[in-house]
Structure 1
Amino acid sequence: MSRPAVVLLALFIALPASAQIYRWTDSAGQVHFTDTPPPSEDYAVIQRPRTTAAPAPAAVAPEPAPESEDETPEAQAGPQTTAEREQALRKRRLEKEEAEAKQQDEAAREAERKRFCEDTANQITALRSGQRVSRFNARGEREFLDDSARAAETERLERQIAEHCR
């Protein structure tokens, strides 16, 4: 036989083998793991052998009546069929996508608010610099701000910063 075939055969033979693993501590404080029971009575079983027998059927208790719509047997037991599992998966994906979309919207709003605050602060700086500032009126004509209009505009921008940027 070829070498890979021998290795595979050895693996398949060893697959069903299982034994209990015991964990115990000797008098010197050394921890031991063995497949045979230790000489002392103080040990813990780490792995129990696998059984191939079918588990005994559990006694069936009567189900209590659901108190609300959310506590139906289907909701308590979880999805049973493939279709129900698919539906639950789709629902989780949809909820995840909605949460991500909400998070992106909040991030976009925060970025817009930050941009607004920076622009408003720059406008206040320009108004306080003393240089000529102009704007366009309703007819599309350019008009320059005098000192009173400049002070009123500065006050309006400071109120916006106080409301939205702090």
Structure 2
Amino acid sequence: MLIRLLVLCLAIVPLMANAEIYKWKDKDGVTRYSDIPPPSNIKQESIRGKKVTKPTGQAPLAPVEGDIATSLNRNKAPEKAKESSASQEDAAKKRAQDAEAQKATDQQKQAELKVKQENCAAARKNLVTYTTGGRISRINEQGEREYLGDDDLSQGKADSQKDVDAYCD
């Protein structure tokens, strides 16, 4: 009795593992297999559940020779396939070029934003320095320290306020 139950369980296990398996290529061109379907914008192929046609032993049906539309479509099919594959390749190349151009533009914008943020931080620091007062000095061409007068301080404060207005939002 125990052996019959074990054989029955072993016969049922493969029926329970009847999951759909999907095959697709990700953005890097790597072929992926999963039981979870990929995102809807990716072309997929179902592996399990495919209906495989069995040979019948009979010759396939041939189109009627007198049918003009059939013969025209048969002659145009290879041309359309070539055109569609060429247009798909062109579209893929254009998308790749657009993506590269967008990436370069984004990198340039990021670099400009970083420079602007650094300039803003420096301008605010200078404004705080000129606003708080005290003795401010700088080194002249001879390497000597010289202290700024009232006119230099007010000019520095005005220049740093102008920089804050230009670089900070």
TM-score computed with the length of structure 1 as normaliser: 0.48
Pick the structure with more helix per residue.
2
